[in-house]
Each structure stands twice: as structure tokens, then as C-alpha cells.
């Protein structure tokens, strides 16, 4: 049985994450010698190269923020990801420093038990630390976590 065309173009899981962590000259060398990459349509090849160029232009801090976001997304189910896409525009409108603060709070919430999360979300510290808009975002995100009501 022949593999489907789409399967022949697929790289192993994590291939591009590993590729982006290499220096640009090594990235290009790997792509130049990768048969699967050359089987992709030219537009897709260019998109991958553009993504790598964009990644390579980021500061180490920006790369870490993106890695953290990916880690969070990968931990969610497809349904949770769809619901998160509804929340994302409000988060995106926040200034970068507040985006980071909300992201850090989400990581903390994720590590808590449901009762701890509820206690945190109803605390005066939470109200002082986050604007009403940020509170809404965090409460919505909390609804995606296990043991929380959606």
C-alpha cells in the first residue's frame, strides 16, 4: 500500500520545533538536504522559510514567551482550543506586559486544584492585580481547566 501524498510530505512530530532551535545556517542546510521539504509546494516551502526567519529575528525573551504559549496550547483538547480562540482576541488587545501577566496567572491557575483556583479568582489580591478585562479573560480561561465549570 502506497502512503497518501499528504503523509509523504509529513515530517515527524516536533521536527520544526527542533529545526528552529538550530542556528540559521544549519536550518538552511537541513532544509536544502530534506527530500520531504523539496516535495512540498513552493508556497509552503517559502512559508516555512519565512516562519524560520521570523523566529530567528526574535529576542530570547520573545522566543520564550512563544514557547510557553505553545506549551499551553498543546496541553488543551481540540474543544478547549476552539474555546480559547474565542477568548484570544481580548487577550491580544492587552499591552504586552499585561499579556505576559495574564499568561503567568494562567500557568499558576493550571497548576492549582479547582478549589484553589476558585479561591484565587475570588480573592482581593486577584482584583487588585488584574483589571476587570483581565479578570474576565482569566475567569474564561479558568473555565477551560479540569474541574471548572465552562
* pTM, to two decimals: 0.57
Least confident of 3-12, 50-59, 83-92: 3-12
Predicted confidence (pLDDT) at residue 4 exceeds the cutoff of 80: no
Backbone angles phi, psi at 20, to 5 degrees: -65, -20
Q: Rounded to whole angstroms, how far apart are CA atoms 87 and 89?
A: 6
Give the chain's length: 150
Phi/psi of residue 40, nearest 5 degrees: -70, 155
Per-residue cell: 40: 512540498
Specify the range with the lowest mean pLDDT, choosing from 25-29, 98-102, 119-123, 141-145. 141-145
**What is the sign of the dihedral through the CA atoms of 77, 83, 88 and 90?**
negative
What the block records as the C-alpha cell of 63 is 522566543
Phi, psi of 61 (to 5 degrees): -65, -45
The domain limits of the chain are 5-57, 62-142
More confident residue, 74 or 63: 63
Contact 94, 134 (CB under 8 A): yes
Distance of CA 61 to the CA centre of its chain: 15
pLDDT at position 86 is 87
Amino acid at each position: 500500500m502506497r502512503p497518501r501524498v499528504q503523509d509523504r510530505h509529513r515530517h515527524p512530530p516536533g521536527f520544526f520545533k527542533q529545526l528552529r532551535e538550530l542556528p540559521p545556517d544549519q536550518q538552511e542546510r537541513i532544509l536544502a538536504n530534506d527530500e520531504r521539504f523539496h516535495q512540498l509546494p513552493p508556497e509552503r516551502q517559502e512559508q516555512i522559510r519565512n516562519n524560520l526567519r521570523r523566529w530567528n529575528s526574535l529576542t530570547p525573551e520573545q522566543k520564550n514567551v512563544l514557547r510557553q504559549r505553545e506549551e499551553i496550547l498543546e496541553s488543551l483538547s481540540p474543544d478547549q482550543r476552539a474555546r480559547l480562540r474565542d477568548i484570544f482576541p481580548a487577550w491580544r488587545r492587552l499591552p504586552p506586559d499585561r499579556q505576559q501577566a495574564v499568561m503567568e496567572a494562567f500557568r499558576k491557575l493550571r497548576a492549582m486544584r479547582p478549589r484553589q483556583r476558585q479561591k484565587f479568582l475570588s480573592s482581593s489580591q486577584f482584583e487588585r492585580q488584574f483589571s476587570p478585562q483581565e479578570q474576565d479573560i482569566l475567569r474564561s480561561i479558568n473555565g477551560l481547566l479540569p474541574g471548572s465549570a465552562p
